[in-house]
């Protein structure tokens, strides 16, 4: 049985869909199932059973022999949350518990880290584990992910197979429930539908034009393809970047969204709020060579093609993947 934590969320539910497409249905879903809007992400998908995240660790201790692989995708991901204790409980300590159980029972573990660990990118965006202790995330969410990465790389006892992926800016279907934490493409789509206009932050850095701020946007279908690759292939244990490997501007993103809707480009630039201006990332780009050297050679979807697929096949008609 494969375990997916965070299974009714954006990425977890897309991973479930990917596994189903590969004929895999013996899957345990772990999450908080009290939000009906999120539960729509797993409608019509195949799995063995569900279990609440608060009950999972005790279940895992008693049923480890039935588990063959763990995808730990679940986490508190709100970058505007500043309750450190909450992040320590849900992100850091919960993940340590899963790690220890996987170690004791020789169960492979793939877990979600985050590009938020890179902070302003002072040390670049290379997934060099020697640099992890130097990184300076910008918020408690990033700290919680970096804290676990730092913990993981020094453990003398570890799962026989373990991979941590630093997710970059993921977008795609099954994020209807995410509200303000949904992707910029999701918000751009709704702004265009409501006002025929997209609002982007004005640049406050002379090195970048308005809308010229750069991010590594990765389509969620590409991301779950990589996650499945770790199930079917033996990678060296460690922490890897998971982005497209190509930074694109927010202007590119907005333009692609207008084009997918067959509408004229209409962009309004607004000031970046003062309270986040000094922490605003102007550039992120994943160095993907480490994963490529492990044999992953499938091309990543271009921003234009990803946006077109997302808008045409999912946002239009409110459909799920």
* 95-124: b (≥16 Cβ within 10 Å) or e: beebbebbbeeebbbbbbbbbbbbbeeeee
Residue 178 annotated in active site: yes
Q: Is residue 114 part of a domain?
A: yes
Q: Has residue 194 been placed in a domain?
A: no
- Surface-to-core class of residue 59, CB atoms within 10 Å of its CB (0-12 exposed, 13-18 middle, 19+ buried): middle
Does residue 8 fall inside a structural domain? yes
For position 53, what pLDDT does the model report? 94
Q: Would you state the pLDDT for residue 279?
A: 80
141 catalytic residue (yes or no): yes
Contacts of residue 211, Cβ cutoff 8 Å, sequence gap at least 6: 200, 203, 249, 250, 251, 254, 267, 269
Q: In this predicted structure, what is the pLDDT of residue 312?
A: 97
Domain that holds residue 89: 2-171+218-246+283-301
pLDDT for 85 equals 74
User: Sign of dihedral through CA atoms 130, 118, 286, 15?
Assistant: positive
State how many domains the chain has.
1
Indicate whether 77 belongs to any domain.
yes
Q: Under a CB-based contact definition with an 8 Å cutoff, are residues 28 and 3 in contact?
A: yes
Query: At 227, which CATH number?
Result: 3.40.50.720
Q: Is residue 252 part of a domain?
A: no
Q: CA 157, CA 90: separation in Å to the nearest integer?
A: 22
Residue corresponding to tokens 């849900």? 90
Catalytic residue among 40, 96, 178, 246: 178
pTM for the structure as a whole: 0.95
Look at residue 180 and tell me if it is in a domain. Answer: no
Residue 269 lies in a domain: no
pLDDT by residue for the chain (321 residues), tens only, comes to: 999 999 999 999 999 999 999 999 999 999 999 999 899 999 999 999 999 999 999 999 999 999 999 999 998 776 666 777 777 777 889 999 999 999 999 999 999 999 999 999 999 999 999 999 999 998 888 899 999 999 999 999 999 999 999 999 999 999 999 988 899 999 999 999 999 999 999 999 999 999 999 999 999 999 999 999 999 999 999 999 999 999 999 999 999 999 999 999 999 999 999 888 888 889 999 999 999 999 999 999 999 999 999 999 999 999 999
* Residue 119 within any structural domain of the chain: yes
Per annotation, catalytic residue among 94, 111, 125, 141: 141
């Amino acid at each position: 049985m494969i375990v997916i934590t965070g299974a009714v969320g954006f990425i977890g539910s897309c991973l479930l869909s990917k596994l189903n497409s590969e004929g895999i249905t013996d899957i345990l879903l772990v999450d908080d199932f009290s939000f009906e809007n999120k539960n729509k992400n797993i409608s019509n998908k195949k799995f063995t059973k569900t279990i609440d995240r608060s009950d999972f660790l005790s279940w895992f201790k008693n049923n480890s022999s039935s588990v063959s692989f763990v995808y730990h995708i679940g986490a508190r991901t709100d970058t505007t949350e500043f309750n450190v204790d909450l992040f320590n409980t849900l992100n850091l300590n919960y993940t340590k518990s899963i790690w220890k159980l996987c170690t004791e029972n020789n169960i492979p573990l793939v877990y979600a880290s985050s590009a938020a660990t890179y902070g302003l990118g002072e040390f670049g965006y290379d997934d060099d584990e020697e640099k992890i202790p130097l990184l300076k995330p910008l918020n408690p969410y990033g700290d919680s992910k970096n804290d676990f990465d730092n913990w993981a790389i020094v453990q003398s006892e570890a799962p026989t197979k373990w991979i941590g992926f630093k997710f970059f800016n993921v977008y795609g279907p099954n994020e209807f429930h995410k509200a303000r934490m949904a992707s910029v493409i999701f918000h751009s789509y709704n702004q265009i539908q409501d006002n025929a206009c997209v609002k982007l932050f004005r640049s406050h850095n002379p090195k970048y034009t308005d809308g010229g701020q750069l991010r590594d946007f990765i389509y969620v279908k590409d991301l779950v393809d990589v996650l499945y690759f770790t199930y079917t292939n033996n990678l060296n244990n460690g922490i890897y970047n998971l982005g497209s490997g190509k930074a694109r501007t927010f202007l590119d993103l907005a333009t692609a969204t207008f084009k997918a809707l067959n509408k004229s480009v209409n962009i309004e630039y607004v000031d970046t709020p003062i309270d986040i201006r000094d922490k605003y990332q102007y550039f992120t780009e994943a160095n993907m060579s480490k994963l490529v050297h492990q044999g992953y050679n499938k091309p990543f979807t271009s921003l234009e093609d990803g946006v077109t697929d997302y808008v045409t096949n999912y946002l239009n008609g409110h459909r799920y993947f």
